[in-house]
A and B are shown apart, each in its own frame.
Chain A
Amino acid sequence: MYDLMFLFILLLLGYFFGQMAEKRHFRSIIKREEEYREILTFAKRFPISNEGDQKAELVGGNVVISVDYFKRFAASLRNLVGGRVTTYESLLERARREAILRMKADARRKGLNTIVNVKLETASISKGSQSQVGAVEVYAYGTGLLSSHNL
């Protein structure tokens, strides 16, 4: 009986705090994406043109985000029937967008305005013996350039 109550309390806490944290995070991501709009990122391997690039340096940003208790519970239920696990989709989206933003922040700190050859790397940090995804790490990196030409 007490176990069931404990589980229920954990689910409630996870649901309310998790939703709040996610909404807050998305708001902050959208705001900062607007702020870093002028730093252009490309997934292509070579600079747009060799003329006018004065500086080249590696830039990167990483983030580790954990999923809340309610979402993990919902995902384990979803595991029974299969299909889209929407609760983990939003987790990964948040992590990727955050990592890209931190990479852009790093580029701005170093005085660069373009990033080419952006690579994203995802690693799951599993907790102990349980094979469930507890947290996910995303690392975004690329070559920051200082371009004087107008793209």
Chain B
Amino acid sequence: MRFGVVVFPGSNCDEDAYHAATDVFGQQAEYLWHKDTDLKGAEVVILPGGFAHGDYLRTGAMARFSPIMNAVRGFAERGGPVLGICNGFQILLEAGLLPGAMLRNKSLKYRCEHVYLRVEQTDTPFTSAAKPGQILRIPIGHGEGNYYAPPDLLKRLEDNRQVVLRYTDPTGTIAEPWNPNGSVNAIASICNERRNVVGMMPHPERACEPLLGGVDGRMIFESIVSAMAIR
């Protein structure tokens, strides 16, 4: 299958996502420049991490105006699978492809470290290989990952089972010290109502090879690869 990895000026995890898709999982991948207007036949689109356009205004606020985002929106509306990682998640929020907003980390500091995540939903194309409640250890690296949704939206997200991953302790229990950024309801990842668009703050591409100290991120890529194979 064919991955499309969007490159905004300021993206810096684009090569990492590309490396995971191709060298680790043996799939095809294509970089999609932000000024491009079509997806070059991509069957799954990744918006990678980084600081698109420098993120001087508000994370993702400029990137949503890049020409490629029209194509990504059309693709998502047709049911195509889209994964936003870190800055990619922030861009999906700004573009209105996912609901809610990001605030600065509660610590007011950038945090790069491994966190524990509990898989809440397995009926998305990016978590279908997981068992419900499975615990993953995957790194984060962000300064604005404090997910916020007002109470009514939060209720809707929970009612619709749109919370895909939550920050927990190593046993899967939600606890304040294990929430690295202060996200409401310990949310690390959500999906849209149709469940084909997923945004996540942790970086699965950083946890796909034993040399890097963990392979729990493989589940995300294995899910999409097998989901597409079935389709």
Real complex partners, A and B? no
Residues of A that sit less than 8 Å from B by CB: none
